Amino acid sequence: MTEHKLSTLVLTVAALLVPRLQAQIPINLEIDASSISRKTISAHEVLPITSSHELIYVFPKWIPGDHGPTGPITDLVDLHFSANGKAIPWTRDPVDMYAFHVSVPADAVEVEAEFSSVNLGYTSTPVQGDLIFNQIVLYPDGAKSDEVRVRLSVTIPTKWQYATALPGAHRNGDTIRFSDVSLTTLVDSPMMMGSLMKEFDIAPQGEPRPHFLDVFAETPEGLDIKPERVEAYRNLVAETGALFGSRHYGSYRFLVEEHADANDGLEHHQSSDNQVPELGMVSSAFLAESGYLLAHEMVHSWNGKYRRPVGLATANYQDPMIGNLLWVYEGLTSYLGEVLAARSNLDTPESFRDRMANDEAVLDYRTGRDWRSLQDTATAAQLLYLASPHWEALRRSNDYYTEGPLLWLEVDSIMRTQSRGNKSIDDFTRAFYGLPNYDPKSGDLKVLPYTFDDVVTSLNSIVPYDWDSFFRHRLEALRPEPPARGLEAAGWHVVYTDVPNDASLDAETATGLTDLRYSIGLVIDDKSEIVDVLPDSAAGHAGLAPEWKVAAVNHRVYSPQLLLDAITAAKTDHQPIVVMVLQDNYYADFQVDYHDGLRYPHLERIASKADLLPAIVRPRRQ
């Protein structure tokens, strides 16, 4: 064999071994989160290499749960690469802004990267922080995240506590080291930390897998969660077990931050990352919202993490995601979250009905349904998540969160009716998501993708029906057709009164919004700014528009209550309501000709139909 042929063979074998060697030699990632309260963290990363040429390292772009290219690349700062103790140059790819080309010396066996992430958002305060690992890691371009191993250590602020689903934690001072995990598991396992923290054991009696509620508060009062509320979260764990019939994880943690007016969550396989308002876990004003949020995110551990639409089950964080099945991923999860919150005593059956009434009403008034289908809101999810809240009624938003529960309530009602009460959505979830229990010895957690046909086939195996045509019609339906016939199928319909329902009051308390979309057609925030206007409402016909600030009502300085009183008074006064706004440094009056009073949605029984809702929210736990 000639020297040239031998050299070519060696290079060929080396090229074939690159993915395997990269999988065997872990990336060493040291994160300094000691300044997380200043909304900045830094990292030192050692990336093993197996060849000497220009390498490409990437920053995660398409983030699971965000369903879009939301990786905060503009917040990656102070980036430096080195090898053999010397700085080496890098250039950003001119097309892919998330990729960095690095020239590696011939004798280098590893590349070191130093960088920071800033502007960590509302999840970092002086007493708490939320470490999201996709914001502070680089990895080789083209690598599969399941095959990249990471050895992690994190330094947190002095005397702070922490919680995470990452395995093998060992703390030495303020630095915590973890067992090697795949990049997939790292990105899927956020780490919450803070100076005020309390952990609650919420594993039901007889449940062998650990379950914890980890709460990080801004004040000691935020940790004073009443025993009956802790028990309701324990009920939630029991109810998920009864619903799905198995668990595909070794343990589960609810990670919860209480601060500001936040109300948001992100699902993970063995945990959920939740932000609720300050005192959101203890104040009666927020309990219904926080209970539903945590129920929703836990359902995602089955629907979204373990089982995932095939278009979202990508090999790494650079491959584009396809969200056309988000009406299953998010829509079914929203429905099951509502149901489980009621079954667990985190919410009430009455509040469950109120939420369903609100979902139907929002969509009935969504003028965007004239032109945009439910399917398009899923297909265009990556755009709509980043869209402004202004003109939302005309644009539509990620409406599978609101239309999804109605759609799946209709599915549930059809299954119950067709089977004469013998089958329900519970049977589908158990068959589709409740596959064999997770075996810790099997290694990293698994993802089992699904397609539209898989959903239809599974439903037909339980209750034969033309599910294919059913879904295709509902997904493409436009106004004036109702968003779903689920409420009527369950024996209820929406009516309007001048009294807000409890779920509306809870939502307004949590968001600070004054929601008058069903009367004059405005939604106004707590800074007096118009968030949205319904185009075919009285406010829309008057010429009002989003982003304008309401300054006065009937020539008096604006307050939410003043506007509510003016709407009520206009029922017996034929004069228009005068709304003064501040727009682009100009004041202007608008005549809102409306006289039908305040309107809020409620559910009312249909006497000729069976009431299915009590059976739907009945607890299943033993």
In terms of DSSP H, where are the helices of 434-491?
A: 452-462, 467-476, 486-489
Q: 446 or 461: whose pLDDT is higher?
A: 461
CA gap 27, 148 in Å, rounded: 8
pLDDT at residue number 15: 38
pLDDT at residue number 51: 65
Q: Which domain holds residue 580?
A: 502-600
Q: Which amino acid appears at position 547 of this protein? A: E
pLDDT above 60 (res 2): no
User: 512 in a domain, yes or no?
Assistant: yes
| Mean pLDDT score across all residues of the chain | 93
CA gap 587, 589 in Å, rounded: 7
pLDDT at residue number 428: 98
Return the CATH number at 535: 2.30.42.10
Q: 379 or 503: whose pLDDT is higher?
A: 379
Using CA atoms, how far residue 385 sits from 297, 397, 425, in Å, is 17, 8, 28
- Which residue matches tokens 């947190």? 156
pLDDT tens-digit series, residues 229-285: 999 999 999 999 999 999 999 999 999 999 877 789 999 999 999 999 999 999 999
**Cross-strand bridge partners of residue 550:** 581
pLDDT at residue number 482: 84
In terms of DSSP H, where are the helices of 60-209?
A: 183-187
CA gap 297, 565 in Å, rounded: 38
Please tell me the total count of domains within the chain. 2
Cβ contacts of 49-53, under 8 Å, gap ≥ 24: 49/104, 49/108, 49/109, 49/110, 49/111, 50/14, 50/17, 50/18, 50/21, 50/22, 51/14, 51/15, 51/18, 51/104, 52/104, 52/105, 52/106, 52/107, 52/108, 53/104
CA gap 490, 353 in Å, rounded: 11
**Cis amide leading into 69 (omega within 30):** no
- pTM to 2 decimal places: 0.93
CA gap 236, 340 in Å, rounded: 7
User: 315 in a domain, yes or no?
Assistant: no
Q: How confident is the model at residue 36 (pLDDT cuts 50, 70, 90)?
A: very high
pLDDT above 50 (res 17): no
Q: Which amino acid appears at position 610 of this protein? A: A
User: 233 in a domain, yes or no?
Assistant: no
User: 55 in a domain, yes or no?
Assistant: yes
pLDDT tens-digit series, residues 44-63: 999 998 666 789 999 999 99
Per-residue pLDDT, averaged over 290-297, amounts to: 97
Per-residue pLDDT, averaged over 488-501, amounts to: 96
CA gap 293, 241 in Å, rounded: 18
Per-residue pLDDT, averaged over 598-610, amounts to: 97
Among candidates 415, 295, 408, 407, which has minimal Cα distance to 351?
A: 295
pLDDT above 80 (res 9): no
- Where are any strands of DSSP class E within 7-98? 27-32, 40-48, 54-58, 76-83, 86-88, 90-92
Q: 224 or 503: whose pLDDT is higher?
A: 224
pLDDT at residue number 304: 96
Among candidates 202, 179, 197, 203, which has minimal Cα distance to 189?
A: 179
User: 49 in a domain, yes or no?
Assistant: yes
Token pair recorded at residue 550: 């309401």
CA gap 354, 360 in Å, rounded: 10
Q: How confident is the model at residue 385 (pLDDT cuts 50, 70, 90)?
A: very high
pLDDT over 90 percentage in the chain: 87
Q: What is the CA 423 to chain-centroid distance, rounded?
A: 30
Return the CATH number at 67: 2.60.40.3650
Residues 299-324 as b or e (16 or more Cβ within 10 Å = b)? bbbbbbbbbbbebbbbebbbeebbbb
Residue 620 CB contacts under 8 Å (≥ 6 apart), including other chains = 239, 242, 243, 343, 426
- Residue 123 near residue 257 (C-beta atoms within 8 A): yes
Token pair recorded at residue 332: 């079914």
pLDDT at residue number 5: 40
Among candidates 268, 340, 259, 343, which has minimal Cα distance to 300?
A: 268
Q: How confident is the model at residue 491 (pLDDT cuts 50, 70, 90)?
A: very high
Per-residue pLDDT, averaged over 486-494, amounts to: 96
CA gap 595, 567 in Å, rounded: 7
- Residue 150 near residue 137 (C-beta atoms within 8 A): yes
Give me the torsion for CA of 380, 384, 385, 387, rounded to 10°: 150
Q: How confident is the model at residue 511 (pLDDT cuts 50, 70, 90)?
A: confident
User: 451 in a domain, yes or no?
Assistant: no
pLDDT tens-digit series, residues 129-180: 999 999 999 999 999 999 999 999 999 999 999 999 999 999 999 999 999 9
Q: 109 or 3: whose pLDDT is higher?
A: 109
pLDDT at residue number 506: 86
User: 465 in a domain, yes or no?
Assistant: no
User: 47 in a domain, yes or no?
Assistant: yes
3-state helix, strand, coil in the chain (%, to 5): 35, 25, 40
Strand, coil or helix: what is 346?
A: coil
pLDDT tens-digit series, residues 346-368: 999 999 999 999 999 999 999 99
Residues 241-253 as b or e (16 or more Cβ within 10 Å = b)? bbbbbebbbbbbb
Token pair recorded at residue 427: 């049977």
Q: Among 143, 159, 185, identify where a domain stops.
A: 143
pLDDT at residue number 436: 78
